[in-house]
A and B are shown apart, each in its own frame.
Chain A
Amino acid sequence: MGPEVSLSKRNNVLYCVIAILLLCILLFPLYWMFVTSIKTEKEIFQIPPTFWPEVLNLKSYAAQLKSGDFNMFQSFGNSLIISIGAMVIAVILAVPASYGIAKYHFKGRKSVVLVFLVTQMLPVSVLLTPLFIMFKNLHLYNTVWSAILADATIGIPFSVLILRNYFASIPKEMEEAAYIDGCNKFTAFMRVLIPIAKPGVIVCAIFSFLYAWGDLAYGMTFIIDQQKRPITAGIFNFMGQYGTKWSYLSAFAIVTIIPVALIFIFMQKYIITGMTSGAVKG
Chain B
Amino acid sequence: MNRVKKFFKYDNVGIFFVLPALLYMIIFVGYPIISNFILSFQDVTVKTLLSDVKEFVGLRNYIELFKQDNILTTSLWNTLIFTVACLVFQFIIGFALAVFFNKKFAISKPIRGLLMMPWMIPITVTGLIFKFMFGTDVGIINYFLKGLGLITENIDWLTNTATAMPAVIFANIWIGIPFNMILISTGLSTIPTELYESASIDGANKFQAFRKITLPLLRPTIESVLILGFIYTFKVYDLVYVMTSGGPVNSTQMLSTYSYKLSFEMFKYSKGAAVANILFVILFFVSLFYLKFTYSQEEA
Binding site for B on A (CB under 8 A): 1-4, 6-7, 11-12, 15-16, 18-20, 22-23, 26-27, 29-30, 32-33, 36, 44-49, 89, 92-94, 96-97, 99-101, 103-110, 112-127, 129-131, 134, 149-150, 152-153, 156-158, 160-162, 164-166, 168-169, 172, 176, 185, 189, 199-200, 203, 210, 213-217, 232, 235, 239, 244, 246, 249-250, 252-253, 256-257, 260-261, 264-265, 268-269, 271-273, 275-280, 282
Contact = CB atoms under 8 A, between A and B. Distances in A.
A277 B103 CA distance: 13
A185 B10 contact: yes
11 contacts: A18-B100, A105-B8, A107-B12, A123-B260, A125-B259, A130-B35, A149-B28, A168-B220, A185-B10, A235-B128, A253-B128
B231 A121 contact: yes
B133 to A, nearest CB: 6
Given A48-B143, A246-B132, A7 B104 contact: yes
Contacts of A158: 228
Given A119-B30, A244-B128, A27 B189 contact: no
Contact of A164 (B20, B224, B260, B288): B224
A20 B120 contact: no
B106 interface: yes
A253 B256 contact: no
Nearest to B138: A45
Given A7-B105, A121-B283, A26 B122 contact: no
Nearest to A135: B28
B73 interface: no
B241 to A, nearest CB: 10
A150 B109 CA distance: 33
B94 to A, nearest CB: 11
B197 interface: yes
Contacts of A46: 138
B224 A93 contact: no
Interface of B: 3, 7-8, 10-18, 20-22, 24-26, 28-33, 35-36, 97, 99-126, 128-130, 132-133, 137-138, 140, 143, 174, 177, 182-183, 185-194, 196-197, 200, 206, 209-210, 214, 220-221, 224, 227-228, 231-232, 235, 237-238, 255-256, 259-260, 263-264, 272-273, 276, 279-280, 283-284, 287-288, 290-291, 295
A215 B228 CA distance: 18
Given A168-B220, A235-B125, A125 B114 contact: no
Contacts of B111: 19-20, 22-23
A272 B17 contact: no
A156 B23 CA distance: 11
Contacts of A129: 32, 35
B192 A3 contact: no
A157 B212 CA distance: 31
B235 A271 contact: no
A249 B190 CA distance: 41
Given A33-B129, A278-B192, A232 B138 contact: no
Nearest to A169: B190
B231 A153 contact: no
A103 B14 contact: yes
Contacts of B255: 123
B24 A275 contact: no
A246 B128 CA distance: 9
Contacts of B256: 123-125
B228 A162 contact: yes
B194 A282 contact: yes
A224 B187 CA distance: 42
A120 B101 contact: no
Given A47-B137, A119-B29, A123-B276, 9 more contacts: A1-B206, A96-B18, A100-B14, A114-B291, A122-B235, A130-B36, A134-B31, A244-B128, A257-B117
A122 B281 CA distance: 9
A268 B215 CA distance: 27
A161 B186 CA distance: 14
Given A26-B177, A36-B132, A112 B22 contact: yes
A44 B227 CA distance: 40
